[in-house]
């Protein structure tokens, strides 16, 4: 169990943004406290013996995996490069519409959102999470998600998106969204 426990602890510490206490780690692993301490010490020794770029540190009442002090200059250079800012609410909403309704046009996105979708769509295109997917019967560009979108969200396929039925909005938001989607669906339906 020691190797498996070490492996599990390494994964938990990798995921943890803050130092994780030994008892919390023991609880998460379903292991005894002394087993966790032993496994953490073996993990620390492994990193030191193998001269890895990571070290196991005990700080602030917990344990944390961090970079070895020798790689600090390279890490500073990497992290000093500009980072992509998080999505704005408008971009996130637009991305969700594309993900669930793809292929979808910018006019359809604007109808659903109730505001222009030009800026949000352009930004998502620049970031590479959506791409052009042909043209609608009216000549509007259609958009779909990209491989990058799937990787960022840990999906193999868009069919793995959470069911929209699990979304639990407030009654007010639900009414507003339902109205927007009904209008969009009516506008999208072929005349017949």
User: Each residue of 2-58: pLDDT tens digit?
Assistant: 789 989 999 998 888 888 899 999 999 998 999 999 999 999 999 888 888 888 888
Q: In sequence order, what DSSP letters do the residues of 46-100 get, joined into one string?
A: HHHHHT-SEEEEEETTEEEEEE-GGGHHHHHHHHHS--PPPPPHHHHHHHHHHHH
Q: Are residues 113 and 162 in the same domain?
A: yes
Tell me whether residue 133 is in a domain.
Answer: yes
Q: Are residues 66 and 99 in the same domain?
A: no
pLDDT at 104: 94
Range with the poorest average pLDDT among 68-72, 109-113, 162-166: 162-166
Per-residue DSSP letter, 169: -
Q: Which of 35, 60, 79 corresponds to the end of one domain? A: 79
User: For 112-142, how does the pLDDT look when each residue is reduced to its tens digit (9 = 90+)?
Assistant: 888 888 999 999 999 999 999 999 888 999 9
Give how far Cα 139 sits from Cα of 98, 130, 135, 142, 192, Å: 18, 18, 5, 9, 20
Q: Are residues 62 and 100 in the same domain?
A: no
Query: How many structural domains comprise the chain?
Result: 2
Q: Are residues 102 and 183 in the same domain?
A: yes
Q: Which of 23, 48, 79 corresponds to the end of one domain? A: 79
Q: Are residues 36 and 114 in the same domain?
A: no
- pLDDT grade for 105, boundaries at 50, 70 and 90: very high
Q: Which of 51, 79, 107 corresponds to the end of one domain? A: 79
CATH of the domain at 140: 1.10.10.10
CB 59 within 8 A of CB 22: no
Q: Are residues 133 and 109 in the same domain?
A: yes
Q: Are residues 141 and 169 in the same domain?
A: yes
Distance CA 36, CA 9 (A): 8
Is the pTM higher than 0.85? The answer reads no
Chain length of the chain = 192
Tell me whether residue 24 is in a domain.
Answer: yes
Q: Which domain holds residue 164?
A: 89-188
For residue 132, give the H/E element and its range: strand 130-135
**Mean pLDDT in residue range 71-80:** 83
Distance CA 43, CA 92 (A): 39
Tell me whether residue 118 is in a domain.
Answer: yes
Q: Are residues 101 and 23 in the same domain?
A: no
pLDDT at 154: 81
Nearest to 37 by CA among 11, 62, 66, 12: 62
Bridge-based pairing state of the strands 54-59 and 62-67: antiparallel
């Amino acid at each position: 169990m020691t190797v498996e426990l070490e492996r599990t602890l390494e994964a938990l510490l990798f995921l943890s943004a803050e130092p994780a206490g030994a008892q919390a780690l023991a609880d998460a692993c379903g292991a005894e406290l002394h087993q966790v301490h032993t496994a953490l010490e073996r993990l620390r020794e492994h990193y030191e013996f193998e001269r890895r770029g990571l070290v196991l540190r005990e700080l602030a009442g917990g344990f944390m995996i961090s970079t070895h002090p020798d790689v600090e200059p390279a890490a500073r250079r990497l992290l000093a490069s500009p980072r992509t800012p998080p999505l704005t609410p408008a971009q996130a909403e637009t991305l969700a519409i594309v993900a669930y309704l793809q292929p979808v046009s910018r006019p359809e996105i604007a109808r659903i959102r109730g505001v222009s979708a030009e800026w949000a769509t352009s930004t998502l295109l620049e970031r590479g999470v959506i791409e052009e997917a042909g043209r609608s019967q009216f000549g509007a560009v259609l958009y779909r998600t990209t491989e990058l979108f799937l990787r960022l969200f840990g999906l193999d396929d868009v069919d793995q998106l959470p069911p929209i039925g699990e979304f639990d909005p407030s009654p007010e938001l639900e009414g507003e969204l339902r109205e927007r989607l009904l209008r969009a669906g009516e506008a999208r339906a072929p005349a017949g």
